[in-house]
């Protein structure tokens, strides 16, 4: 994939701008970056704090030629790409299903994939936020968020990080579109995430709460959770409101 990067000083949301450009005919690979966002969005309508200079705010237009059931794998593919970009700076990132990049239990990045109907078909807007610095992070996030600078003492600019990120995105997006793409991406995700299996979790869904131990992923990236009574629930990315790790170590029932 070829990337063209448009850089803005401030936008409401890079995802909103990328969706607008996609509707105007932007090709796959158009990237929108902003130094700050005035209405940055996280999943489930949450705010994504996007103060100037503290984070990477990046969105790319994709026009995937994938069977619709595999579209959720774009979030997992992006998790793998961000993980590898972080690995250039940190030894210990993790991916929490489905879209969180962590160091320990603290969040260092997140992914928001949205679809947009455009005259030339469905586009996916893949938005990525990475915490580069912790300075100016609101107090309420201090305990639950971290940044590359807080972890390493190194200042990394959004431009530098995006250069690594686009390299990995290109590699893993091509992999996803390959003959065994969905299987290959699930295998890559498995190698990087402590959430793939054996993690005791509580999942909050619109219709209730499920607690159990993670038990691998379905071919479309859905998470299997084995409950205490031995039954296995399959959780689709779109259904989960919150997923919490209950213990650090593997638990067997």
- Strands 30-37 and 4-11, bridge-based pairing: parallel
Residue whose beta carbon is closest to ligand BTN: 110
Instruction: Kindly tell me the burial class for residue 170, based on how many C-beta atoms sit within 10 Å of its own C-beta (0-12, 13-18, 19 or more).
Output: middle
Least distance between ligand BTN and beta carbon 13 (Å) = 3
Binding mask 9-38 for ligand BTN (x = CB under 6 A): ----xxx---------------------x-
For the stretch 173-180, contacts whose Cβ atoms lie closer than 8 Å and that sit 24 or more positions apart, written own/partner, are: 173/1, 173/62, 173/77, 173/81, 174/1, 175/77, 176/64, 176/66, 176/70, 176/73, 176/74, 176/77, 177/64, 177/65, 177/66
Using the rule CB under 6 A, which residue among 19, 22, 30, 40 binds ligand BTN?
Answer: 40
Query: Does position 72 bind ligand BTN by CB under 6 A?
Result: no
Among 72, 79, 129, 182, binds ligand BTN (CB under 6 A): 129
Q: Which is nearer to ligand BTN, 61 or 213 (CB)?
A: 61
> Between 205 and 234, how does the x/- string for binding to ligand BTN read (CB under 6 A)?
------------------------------
Residues 185/175, Cβ–Cβ less than 8 Å: yes
Q: Is 75 in the site for ligand BTN (CB under 6 A)?
A: no
Smaller CB separation from ligand BTN, 46 or 183: 46
110 binds ligand BTN (CB under 6 A): yes
Which residues 6+ apart lie within 8 Å of 87 measured at CB? 93
> Sheet of 106-118: strands edge to edge?
4-11, 30-37, 55-62, 121-131, 106-118, 100-103, 93-96
What is the closest distance, in whole angstroms, from the C-beta atom of residue 23 to ligand BTN in the complex? 16
Q: How far is the CB of 240 from ligand BTN (least distance, A)?
A: 12
Q: Which residues bind ligand BTN (CB under 6 A)?
A: 13-15, 37, 40-43, 46, 48, 57-59, 99-100, 110-112, 127-129
């Amino acid at each position: 994939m070829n990337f063209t990067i448009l850089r803005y000083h401030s936008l409401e949301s890079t995802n909103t701008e990328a969706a607008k450009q996609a509707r105007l005919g932007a090709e796959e690979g158009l990237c929108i970056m902003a130094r700050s966002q005035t209405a940055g969005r996280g999943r489930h309508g949450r705010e994504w704090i996007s103060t100037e200079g503290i984070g990477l705010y990046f969105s790319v237009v994709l026009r995937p030629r994938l069977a619709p059931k595999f579209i959720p794998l774009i979030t997992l593919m992006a998790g793998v790409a961000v993980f590898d970009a972080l690995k250039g700076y940190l030894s210990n990132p993790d991916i929490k299903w489905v879209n969180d990049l962590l160091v320990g239990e603290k969040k260092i990045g997140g992914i928001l994939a949205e679809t947009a109907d455009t005259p030339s078909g469905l586009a996916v807007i893949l938005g990525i936020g990475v915490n580069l610095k912790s300075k100016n992070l609101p107090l309420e996030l201090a305990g639950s968020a971290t940044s590359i600078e807080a972890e390493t003492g190194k200042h990394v600019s959004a431009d530098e990080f995006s250069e690594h990120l686009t390299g990995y995105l290109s590699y893993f997006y091509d992999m996803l579109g390959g003959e065994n793409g969905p299987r290959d991406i699930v295998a890559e995700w498995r190698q990087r995430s402590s959430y793939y299996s054996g993690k005791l979790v509580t999942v909050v869904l619109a219709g209730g709460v499920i607690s159990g131990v993670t038990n691998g992923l379905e071919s479309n990236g859905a998470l299997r959770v084995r409950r205490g009574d031995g039954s296995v629930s399959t959780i689709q990315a779109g259904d989960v409101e919150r997923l919490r790790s209950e213990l650090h170590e593997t638990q067997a029932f």
